[in-house]
Structure 1
Amino acid sequence: MPTTAQSLDQVPFHNSFVESLRGEASFDRSPRQVPGYQYSRVEPTPVADPQLLAWSEELADFLGLTKPAERGPAVDALAGNLVTPSMKPFAARYGGHQFGNWAGQLGDGRAICLGEIRAVDDSAWEIQLKGAGPTPYSRRADGRAVLRSSLREFLCSEAMHYLGVPTTRALSLVRTNDEVVRDMFYNGNARPEPGAIVARVAPTFVRFGNFQLLAAAGELDNLRALAHYVIRGYYPELGEPSSAVYVQWFAEICRRTAVMVAHWMAVGFVHGVMNTDNMSILGLTIDYGPYGWLEPYDPDWTPNTTDFGSRRYAFGQQPNVALWNLWQLARALAHLVDDPEALRPALDHYTTTLETTRHELLLRKLGLTALAPEEDHVLLGALHEALADAQVDMTLFFRHLSHAVPALVSSPDTGAATARELLGAVSYETEAAPAPTALYQWLLDYTLRLRREPASPEATREGMLRANPKYVLRNYLAQQAIEAAETGDLSLLNELMEVLKTPFAEHPEHESLAAKRPEWAREKPGSATLSCSS
């Protein structure tokens, strides 16, 4: 346990993944199949002139790390230019289903884990550099990442944490001062972009796909060893691994995944690329690529241009996709249990947990207590269709609704006028469009239900304001921060970092960061939709 804060280049690293599991130690970066191993030892490829752009102060404090200067040994470590003696960097081997199709071996193609450090509470946290250069799993890629995607991942990892969503974290954003060629929309318009590296942090980055590949390759000893490593290290409360413990473990993975997805749905977050290799074994949001928030509310919306054909990963599909992904994990873990059918109830547990958690979160967002379960089931069920019909901004709808509660319940006439005013403030409908009658009627029904709550309207409003964020990382805001950062202007990046730490506060001086998406951003590249390119 660290007693005083240290610089990253001085902190001792631990290497439980490398020391517990079978890996290759050739340090060969050439792309290839790596059968029989869980990982490959590989060192980051140095960059030209690493420069610290952003730093998560609160996470660093928890990890016992001091903020480095803009350039220096600690930034060299964050960029992969410095590997200290206690680090044993590696790239993990895994597979996965991408857009529903088995892709075989994938692995960390541009992410290299440095090892683990001990936080102030003595817990272990992996530090992984994304964009640190080629590995055996890079296939035809260069192992690098661009500033565009790295800034998005840094900001969103931390923003999601402060929203209360289970997530991996981000410690730093480093500009490499190298250029990286990318085709942003895979349309033949490749161009050089500024390179960057984000330091990601999590207890472990093991994914569903780690287990899938080992099962598909028939590497059952490796499969069992990985299961033992994860259970002993991250699910110790379950006891020593056994067939029965594997079943309990899978049920807990299902529960955590359900809670994570329920939180996504509650804040209107769309992951955009829910491949099985992007699913954390700990139930954490991982791999922030073409994500987005609902602007306007549309269950069929996906921010991922690669997914426009099938919309497999659209907002409304996320609960079902997570269940499908858990099925694929169950198929891999079936090799470890005496009776594979014993895994099936956990999938039902996922569905029940998801429904229960979503319902509880939505009740909280609406300021309702469990007074009328059957009535509330109907009321809450009608809300989603009404939101879509009215084309409202989901974040702003719930925030404005929170403030409107006292006026809604004061009198029928005041409530009706307030409902009309609220809809005008949060809808993307044009003036010529028909009035959103379904949502207006829903608001009237909701007001009647709200008047039966025992709490005062003011107390209800305050509770709702704690459940409904005013600020989320809208894509157009991230894109503006990217464009400014590419010119050396970090002011918007820093402003977003500070505001997104307290997304439920009012921040009247930052009101512009809570506005509806401007019309110009609807079609602008990066401001609404993105591809997987990074």
Structure 2
Amino acid sequence: MRLNIHDRFNQELPADPVLTPSRRQVTEAAFSFVTPRVPSAPRLRHAVTEVAEMLGLAPTDLNGDTFRRVFSGGEVIAGTRPYAMCYGGHQFGNWAGQLGDGRAINLAEVEHRGQHWTLQLKGAGETPYSRTADGLAVLRSSVREHLCSEAMHHLGVPTTRSLCLLTTGDQVLRDVMYDGNPEMETGAVVCRVAASFIRFGSFEILAARNDLATLRQLADYTIRHHYPEIQAENQADTKASYGHFFHAVCQRTLTMIVHWQRVGFVHGVMNTDNMSIHGDTIDYGPYGWLEGFDPDWTPNTTDRSHRRYQFGNQPKIALWNLLQLANALYPLVGDAAPFQAALQEYQDDFSREYTNMQASKIGLTHANQAANEADEELISQLDTVLQLTETDMTIFFRLLADVRKSSNVSAGRDFLAPVIDAFYDPESLTDEMIEQWRAWFSLYLQRLNQSEESDAMRRERMNRVNPKYVLRNYIAQLAIDAADQGDDSLIAELYELLRDPYAEQPERQKWFAKRPEWARHKVGCSMLSCSS
């Protein structure tokens, strides 16, 4: 197994001089050198050939002992120095101070075919940032992260990737619901892959400590390697480059959030330390997909009371988080104007892009142009009727593509036949609800009939933006339960399913289904904790 190692972060930025994993405040440094924990009996449970090839690994490498040792943390790649990153963050709206990589260790950086990647193990042992925890992860959370990273990529959502999932052969004590009932669970490690793992919080911690020298080093490093076009444009004006960097992060974040809303994904813990400067989805913890269309839903048990990170609030939270990044970068510029302009542009652009996205989901033909007021009203009314009774978001939008322009909505309830399977309890639809749906469908069909596009062409367009298959929590839990018994076949099956989420895949039709009633309140199938 050979990788083209090209470390930059731990070569160009200041390191913590202390070389032990003892918990401590790390100052004037971007990272700490650490050594991954050697597992007792590592076992490869699943690997992604596509990601391996992206890194320059051959498919045959995945079955080798070296691969198993390196990506479980048991062997350090020759010539590399693994490290954990220092960062802070706002958690649930409150400044939490130093956080850092408490259970993540960057193994190395790799170059292949003109692309630069950072390899990071999650669950490979303690670091100076582990606080009172052990730096380990369990199979439960690792299966979810491994599958979801790849699922999101194939949905077209910016995300970190996952190379492989291994179990360590060790048991880890976890209190899954934080209710005082800890149990031993199977230890596991996931290898995450991204251009970098620099977060909003990477800048926040330095600004909070008034460590402007390291803040400037980190900003210059980030622009030099990850936004080189900004450096090229602003060689004579360094301060301007910081403002342009922030603007670029705003726009990438906007794109990510629009995609989240498009597919019904809820991150669950949008703290600033979980926000990537690349606009990638990062840190898959208590995430979920909307089952019933409910903008107020959050999958995070910790957020149950205040619902700060509920589905409908994600765009505003992203803006709030960007404001915290702006505050961190401000000392490098000394002028609020470029940050205010970028934040205002985020709000203006988001409103337009979000409406266009919603228009595309219902097949309106101007999806890439400014929506008119009538279409905005149509979309708003749809949000309302979707909440009249429990309605599955993924299934509804997928089935909506089957509606024909010639449909008759004048009497009865047959007009709902194309989407009836999206309702959890069709019998709960009252006469009043049916009339509200009839009113919406009447307007919708009028709008569709303004276009000469055929039903077939519209259906094809809609099916490119409305996935048929997503990683519902109950589906992931089935894979976890099987893996706990040593059976990895469902992980492999779901990976293949989620590689092509917009295709019909009739042989896998069983996964195109509403959450079963047994999963409604089952641990791991509805709300989840941050425990991993």
TM-score of Structure 1 vs Structure 2, range by shorter chain = over 0.9
Report how far residue 522 of structure 1 moved: 0.5
Take 1:432 and 1:95, find their aligned partners in 2: how far apart are those partners? 48
Take 2:472 and 2:443, find their aligned partners in 1: how far apart are those partners? 30
Take 1:194 and 1:411, find their aligned partners in 2: how far apart are those partners? 53
Asked if 1 retains the 8 angstrom alpha-carbon contact of 2:389 and 2:429, the reply is no
**Deviation sequence 1:513-533 (CA, Å, 0-9, x none):** 111000110000001110000
2:320 is matched with which residue? 324
Bigger shift: residues 461-470 or 436-445 = 436-445
Query: What runs of 5+ residues in structure 1 fail to find an aligned partner?
Result: 1-6
The verdict on how the C-alpha distance between 1:415 and 1:46 changes in structure 2, with shifts beyond 3 A counting, is farther
2:520 is matched with which residue? 522
Report how far residue 63 of structure 1 moved: 1.7
Matched residue type, 1:532: C
Take 2:195 and 2:160, find their aligned partners in 1: how far apart are those partners? 8
Matches within 5 A, 1:124-273: 124-239=116-231, 240=235, 242-273=238-269
SS of residue paired to 2:145: helix
Report how far residue 416 of structure 1 moved: 7.5
1:392 is matched with which residue? 391
1:95 is matched with which residue? 88
SS of residue paired to 2:159: coil
Take 2:429 and 2:380, find their aligned partners in 1: how far apart are those partners? 25
2:20 is matched with which residue? 28
SS of residue paired to 2:388: helix
SS of residue paired to 2:46: strand
Asked if 2 retains the 8 angstrom alpha-carbon contact of 1:415 and 1:447, the reply is no
Asked if 1 retains the 8 angstrom alpha-carbon contact of 2:389 and 2:423, the reply is yes
SS of residue paired to 1:498: helix
1:383 is matched with which residue? 382
Take 2:420 and 2:426, find their aligned partners in 1: how far apart are those partners? 10
**Deviation sequence 1:51-77 (CA, Å, 0-9, x none):** 111111112122211234556111100
Asked if 2 retains the 8 angstrom alpha-carbon contact of 1:96 and 1:213, the reply is yes
Take 2:17 and 2:38, find their aligned partners in 1: how far apart are those partners? 19
**Deviation sequence 1:435-454 (CA, Å, 0-9, x none):** 53334422221111111122
Asked if 1 retains the 8 angstrom alpha-carbon contact of 2:400 and 2:419, the reply is no
Take 1:415 and 1:396, find their aligned partners in 2: how far apart are those partners? 24
Report how far residue 12 of structure 1 moved: 3.2
1:3 is matched with which residue? none
Query: What runs of 5+ residues in structure 2 fail to find an aligned partner?
Result: none
Asked if 2 retains the 8 angstrom alpha-carbon contact of 1:76 and 1:82, the reply is yes
Matched residue type, 1:66: A
SS of residue paired to 2:107: strand
Bigger shift: residues 507-516 or 409-418 = 409-418
Say which of 334, 344, 347 aligns to 1:348.
Answer: 344
2:465 counterpart of 1:472: no
Say which of 38, 44, 48 aligns to 2:36.
Answer: 44
2:408 counterpart of 1:409: no
SS of residue paired to 1:127: strand
Say which of 496, 499, 519 aligns to 2:497.
Answer: 499
Aligned residues: 522
TM-score, with structure 1 as normaliser = 0.95
Bigger shift: residues 357-366 or 342-351 = 357-366
SS of residue paired to 1:301: coil
Asked if 1 retains the 8 angstrom alpha-carbon contact of 2:482 and 2:488, the reply is yes
2:3 is matched with which residue? 11
2:279 counterpart of 1:283: yes
Matched residue type, 1:64: G
SS of residue paired to 1:409: coil
1:118 is matched with which residue? 111
2:430 counterpart of 1:434: yes
SS of residue paired to 1:132: coil
Matched residue type, 2:13: L
Matched residue type, 1:503: P
Bigger shift: residues 383-392 or 209-218 = 383-392
Matched residue type, 1:488: G
Matched residue type, 1:115: A
Bigger shift: residues 500-509 or 18-27 = 18-27
**Deviation sequence 1:320-339 (CA, Å, 0-9, x none):** 11111111111101101131
Cα RMSD of the aligned pairs, angstroms, is: 1.6
SS of residue paired to 1:526: coil
**Deviation sequence 1:286-328 (CA, Å, 0-9, x none):** 0000000111010110000010010000001101111111111
Take 1:368 and 1:432, find their aligned partners in 2: how far apart are those partners? 29
Take 2:336 and 2:466, find their aligned partners in 1: how far apart are those partners? 41
SS of residue paired to 1:196: strand
Asked if 2 retains the 8 angstrom alpha-carbon contact of 1:27 and 1:43, the reply is no
2:353 counterpart of 1:360: no
Matched residue type, 2:98: Q
Take 1:153 and 1:352, find their aligned partners in 2: how far apart are those partners? 33
Asked if 2 retains the 8 angstrom alpha-carbon contact of 1:110 and 1:131, the reply is yes
Asked if 2 retains the 8 angstrom alpha-carbon contact of 1:130 and 1:197, the reply is yes
Report how far residue 417 of structure 1 moved: 5.5
Report how far residue 252 of structure 1 moved: 1.0
